[in-house]
Structure 1
Amino acid sequence: MRQTLKHLRRLGLLAALVACTGCARGAGKPSHALHPPEDGDAVVTGARFLATDGRDVRYRANAARGAYREAERAVSLTDVHAKLFADGKPTYTLQAERGRILVDSNDMEFPGPVVASTSDGATLEGTDFRYDAAGQTVQSDHPVTVRRDAMRVEGAAFRAWPREERFELLGGVRGQVNQP
């Protein structure tokens, strides 16, 4: 365990793996396990990642597993559940089987199917979502479906601004509203 921690410090990843040495409440045992490198330079199960702007949390990503690769300066994630925040309140929740955090920029990529929900109850389903930390936007160049209550709207792509709690569908927009 100490050798692995030294290895992580040397890679400069310890700050990104905020909760890896945390303890489960009252159990006195680590709630996250460090493993020797398998398919990455460092592998963590039960990982939690935080990105801040120095004052506020921008996002929190929980993953069943995270594998850091120094050559890519990225953490590959499996079974990802990420929350985006604005002024300390969650605005978007994203769930995906796979994800990736680019360590230098704090950008996130979610290749494959993604389900996102907004704080006002809308659900977005699509593929290949990206979170740009600098611009604080979420977007996809692939078809997306938005559902809320009796409304269903589809678009060829989308872009969202979680801090402003707004999004736009781009191209090929069509919708349906079912009245009770």
Structure 2
Amino acid sequence: MRRSILLNLALITLLIGASGCGNRNRAAEQLTKDTQGAQKFDSNLTFNNVTLEQANDKGQLWWRVKAKQAVYAKDQKNATVEEPKGELFQDGKPVFKIEAQRSDIQQDGKSIVLKGQITAIDIRDGSVLKGNELEWRPTEDVLIIRNGFNGDHKQVQLAAKEGRFLTRTRRVDLTGQIVAQVKEPSLQMRGERLTWLIQDQKLNSDRPIQIDRYENKQITDRGSADQSEVDLKAKIVTLRQNARIALKQSNTQINGNALAWNIDQKTLSASEPITIVNSAQQVTLTANQGEMQIDQQVADLSGNVRGVGEKNQSRLSADRVKWFLATQQFEANGSVSYQQNNPPFSIAGPQASGKLDTQQVAVNGGQEGGRVELQITPQGLGR
């Protein structure tokens, strides 16, 4: 009997001990779950209908962004927001409106970065800027759009890898795979670096660039240079250093180091040495300066003018030459000299006219010389 009681007491003690261990294990598991939950809550703070804003020491706002929902990281500097909309401020006044469907936001008190498909609208002129990353640095007055810049303005559409908008001077510096589509006149610019001066209405580049002119969506002329300036208001393209313009209508190429291309008036002018090449007729003219009427296909050259007809090795020099590209005729004045190889001949006089490609040249003495004129006709031409 006593042994039975002792066994029962031992069994009860064992059961109580086992029960205590089980309770302790369950408590530990629950504590672990609660700790993990608390850590998860601490690292992911979710808020609905939030406003993110930052101001300077004077209380002037730098930015204000409202979002439908924001999920904050533990440091509360980074957040993922849904449907963010807001403004970027300069001198306490809004200069840009921004919006996106979804964005990752980073802010450090002095700048804000939004990542996603971001749209920024310039309140001052309605320009629309888009990109995959936007950074606003209010202390530097600069808005940076990275990973694909697209801009739409009433005068021009722009695309590049990156754009830096200096908001106070209203200057945009573009870099990487640039395509600028000027709306009026219809031009397309392509290069690796471009500066857009919004107030001055100019597009400048200090790097090689190509410029195409369009009519009825077809390329009519093509220019290139190491440096360029497009005056959007005056509609003048200035090309410098290794400048080249190819005119499709006349199959002519103009080379020089300073070419001014008036798109509206359809003229070209060169204040420095110029070379004009007509590849179809194999005629080349050079001069110290010159002008060209593109539609009329007339070039007016002055200063040490030289002309060469490659087909027949004919050569012309004069102080001034007017060249009609469509007919290949010319009018030369001042110290005119003409030479040809077949048949060998040379002559000089104050004035001359003719065609280099066919070796038909008339030289005369002008009014002071009493109209002395000589017709040169190559052998076999009149047979």
Structure 1, gaps ≥5 residues long: 22-30
Q: Is the 8 A contact 1:94 1:115 kept in 2?
A: yes
1:49 to 205, 209, 212: 212
Distance 2:218 2:186 in 1: 17
Larger radius of gyration: 2
- Counterpart of 1:107 in structure 2 is 267
Secondary structure of the residue aligned to 1:19 is strand
Residues 135-154 of structure 1 aligned to structure 2 (within 5 Å):
135-149=296-310, 150-154=313-317
2:228 to 59, 66, 74: 66
Q: Is the 8 A contact 2:236 2:260 kept in 1?
A: yes
Following TM superposition, by how much is the alpha carbon of 1:68 offset from its aligned partner in structure 2, in angstroms? 2.1
Residues 1-180 of structure 1 aligned to structure 2 (within 5 Å):
1-3=149-151, 6=153, 8-9=155-156, 13-16=182-185, 18-20=187-189, 31-37=191-197, 41-44=202-205, 45=207, 46-50=209-213, 52=215, 54=216, 58-70=220-232, 72-78=234-240, 79-86=242-249, 91-118=251-278, 119-149=280-310, 150-162=313-325, 164-172=326-334, 173-178=336-341
Cα RMSD (Å): 3.3
Distance 2:329 2:220 in 1: 18
Q: Is the 8 A contact 2:286 2:305 kept in 1?
A: yes
Following TM superposition, by how much is the alpha carbon of 1:43 offset from its aligned partner in structure 2, in angstroms? 1.3
Structure 2, gaps ≥5 residues long: 1-148, 158-180, 345-383
Tell me the amino acid that sits aligned with residue 35 of structure 1.
Answer: T
Distance 1:170 1:41 in 2: 38
Q: Which moved more, 1:116-125 or 1:141-150?
A: 141-150
Following TM superposition, by how much is the alpha carbon of 1:15 offset from its aligned partner in structure 2, in angstroms? 4.9
- What is the identity percentage for the equivalent residue pairs of Structure 1 and Structure 2? 12
Following TM superposition, by how much is the alpha carbon of 1:169 offset from its aligned partner in structure 2, in angstroms? 3.1
Deviations, residues 57-105 of structure 1 (Å, cap 9, x unaligned):
553222233212356442211121112233xxx5221110111111321
If asked which structure has higher relative contact order (CA below 8 Å, sep 6+), I would say 1
**In the superposition, relative to structure 1, how do residues 17 and 55 fare at CA in structure 2: closer, same or farther (>3 Å)?**
closer
Distance 2:232 2:196 in 1: 14
**In the superposition, relative to structure 1, how do residues 140 and 48 fare at CA in structure 2: closer, same or farther (>3 Å)?**
same
Q: Is the 8 A contact 2:287 2:302 kept in 1?
A: no
**In the superposition, relative to structure 1, how do residues 154 and 140 fare at CA in structure 2: closer, same or farther (>3 Å)?**
same
Q: Is the 8 A contact 1:95 1:115 kept in 2?
A: yes
Tell me the amino acid that sits aligned with residue 100 of structure 1.
Answer: A
User: Normalized against structure 2, the TM-score is what?
Assistant: 0.37
